């Protein structure tokens, strides 16, 4: 009774939908279109040349000289995402967006409408037709199965524009054709743990004892694999934010300029402020993680009174960077050897439980921050900025990028809680 809808090469096909000249041509949607820009979404045509997500643009052009590089257009992808969700909600009240390009349609409360697999296949084909009504170049793969995990797995079996079904009758045959790393959520490290425990195929994983799986996976996750492959549901409901992260990999050009690195650092802090304002939460802990090209890392975390201001996060972290430089003879942590920066916030509280300080009106500050971001959303990010953001190149650093796996900020809590008490938040 579960359908998993996976939009094929979503960002790229959105661009091809809006620009007829791009249809049928290999397209690569990039963070930026410089020589070393990373491709975050190759089109179906580009994939046929071996172009993959995460590949540098110069390497992709070697494989596919006719590749058309495009910068992301997050507003466009959000718009199409909302239209697709509206289509799905015509058929079920239980629609759970899992990312910008994936969603679950839970039909367990509609058993009188969809009585058998034939009914569900007709529904899946109708959904495909309705999505083509949004845009005739948009394609999706749909999986049908007894639980969300197997429906996701089924959606991966036939791309693009596929429709696959996993049932108790055919699951062993399906699993027998796959490798462990073909299962969503199993990467090389987890696969190696399972292989070391003598579980080297998905079929063996299904029939392994849960206690053995728990030891092999070194956590309760092993037991979840047993549940998933034996039709129990462990993936439908999800929790509100436990933490937020803003991360950026730096190109060669960005690493070469101290000003560019600083702009990205500021932009990440302000991005987290925006997300906390949107969700109405304050963090009691934040930290920074810097990765270097030589494999080394520098980490720092701080516990504090609940805060929401990105400027406070920035200045606190900057003070730690300056302290490190002072203790190491002026050696800075933000230099040309950097590979990526990540800022994280966690341990959230909401405004209603904050203790108002005696001599400071935090309520006015909260309202001001919210008003600022309402204006930014309405008129554009660069129409209203703090003094620290008025640096050359900062707007480019802040460029609104959307991740395949993070869409919570597009919705408020009321939009998720429908049909009773079921929590229907998307995965972070």
Count of positions (residues) in the chain? 428
Buried b / exposed e over 382-414, threshold 16 CB at 10 Å, is: eeebeeebeeeebbebbeeebebebbbbbbeee
Gyration radius of the chain over CA positions: 23
List, as one string, the DSSP characters of 340-402.
EEEEEEEEEEEGGG----TT--HHHHHHHHHHHHHHHHHH-GGGS--GGG-STTHHHHH----
Q: Is 102 a catalytic residue?
A: yes
Q: Which two tokens stand for residue 213?
A: 């799986």
Contact 394, 266 (CB under 8 A): yes
Closest CA to 278 of 397, 395, 411: 411
- Give percent helix, percent strand, percent coil of the chain, each to the nearest 5: 45, 20, 35
List, as one string, the DSSP characters of 91-151.
T-S-EEEEETTEEEEE-TT-TTT--SHHHHHHHHHHHHHHHHHH-TT--EEEEEESSHHHH
CA–CA gap between residue 197 and residue 60 (Å, rounded): 38
Contact 314, 265 (CB under 8 A): yes
Q: Is 408 strand, coil or helix?
A: helix
- CA 42 to chain CA centroid, Å, is 16
Provide CB contacts within 8 A for 304, sequence distance 6+. Answer: 284, 285, 286, 316
Angle at which helix 74-88 crosses helix 117-134, to 10 degrees, equals 140
Q: Is 305 strand, coil or helix?
A: strand
- Tally the C-alpha atoms within 13 A of residue 369's C-alpha that lie toward its C-beta: 22
User: How far from 204 is each of 49, 294, 319, 369, CA to CA, in Å?
Assistant: 34, 38, 52, 54
Closest CA to 142 of 236, 9, 10, 4: 4
Angle at which helix 310-327 crosses helix 258-279, to 10 degrees, equals 140
Indicate which residue of 15, 45, 79, 102 is catalytic. 102
Which residues are marked as active site? 102
């Amino acid at each position: 009774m579960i359908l998993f809808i996976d939009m094929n090469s979503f960002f790229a096909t959105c661009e091809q939908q809006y620009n007829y000249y791009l249809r049928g041509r290999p397209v690569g949607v990039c963070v930026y279109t410089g020589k070393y820009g990373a491709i975050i979404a190759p089109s179906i045509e580009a994939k046929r040349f071996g172009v993959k997500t995460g590949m540098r643009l110069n390497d992709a052009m070697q494989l596919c000289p006719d590749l058309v590089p495009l910068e992301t257009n997050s507003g466009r992808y959000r718009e199409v995402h909302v239209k697709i969700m509206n289509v799905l909600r015509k058929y079920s009240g239980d629609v759970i967006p899992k990312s910008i390009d994936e969603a679950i349609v839970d039909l367990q409360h509609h058993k009188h409408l969809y009585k058998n697999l034939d009914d569900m296949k007709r529904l899946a084909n109708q959904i495909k037709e309705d999505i083509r009504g949004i845009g005739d170049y948009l394609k999706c793969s749909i999986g049908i199965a007894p639980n969300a995990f197997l429906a996701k797995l089924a959606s991966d079996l036939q791309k693009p524009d596929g429709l696959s079904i996993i049932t108790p009758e055919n699951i062993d045959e399906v699993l027998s054709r796959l490798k462990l790393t073909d299962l969503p959520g199993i990467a090389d490290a987890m696969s190696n743990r399972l292989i070391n425990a003598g579980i080297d195929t998905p079929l063996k994983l299904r029939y392994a004892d849960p206690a053995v799986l728990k030891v092999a996976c070194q956590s309760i996750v092993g037991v979840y694999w047993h549940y998933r492959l034996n039709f129990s549901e462990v993936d439908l409901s999800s929790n509100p934010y436990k933490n937020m992260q803003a991360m950026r990999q730096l190109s060669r050009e960005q690493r070469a300029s101290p000003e560019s690195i600083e702009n990205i650092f500021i932009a990440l802090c302000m991005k987290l402020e925006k997300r906390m304002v949107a969700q109405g939460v304050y963090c009691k802990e934040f930290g920074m993680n810097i990765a270097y090209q030589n494999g080394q890392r520098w980490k720092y975390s701080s516990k504090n009174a609940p805060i929401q201001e990105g400027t406070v996060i920035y200045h606190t972290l900057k003070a730690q960077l300056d302290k490190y430089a002072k203790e190491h003879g002026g050696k800075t942590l933000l230099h040309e050897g950097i590979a990526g920066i990540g800022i994280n916030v966690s341990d959230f509280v909401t405004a209603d439980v904050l203790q108002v300080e005696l001599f400071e009106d935090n309520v006015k500050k909260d309202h001001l921050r919210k008003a600022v971001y309402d204006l930014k959303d309405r008129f554009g990010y660069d129409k209203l900025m703090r003094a620290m953001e008025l640096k050359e190149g900062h707007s480019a650093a802040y460029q609104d990028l959307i991740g395949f796996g993070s869409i919570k900020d597009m919705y408020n809590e009321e939009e998720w809680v429908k049909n009773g008490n079921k929590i229907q938040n998307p995965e972070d």
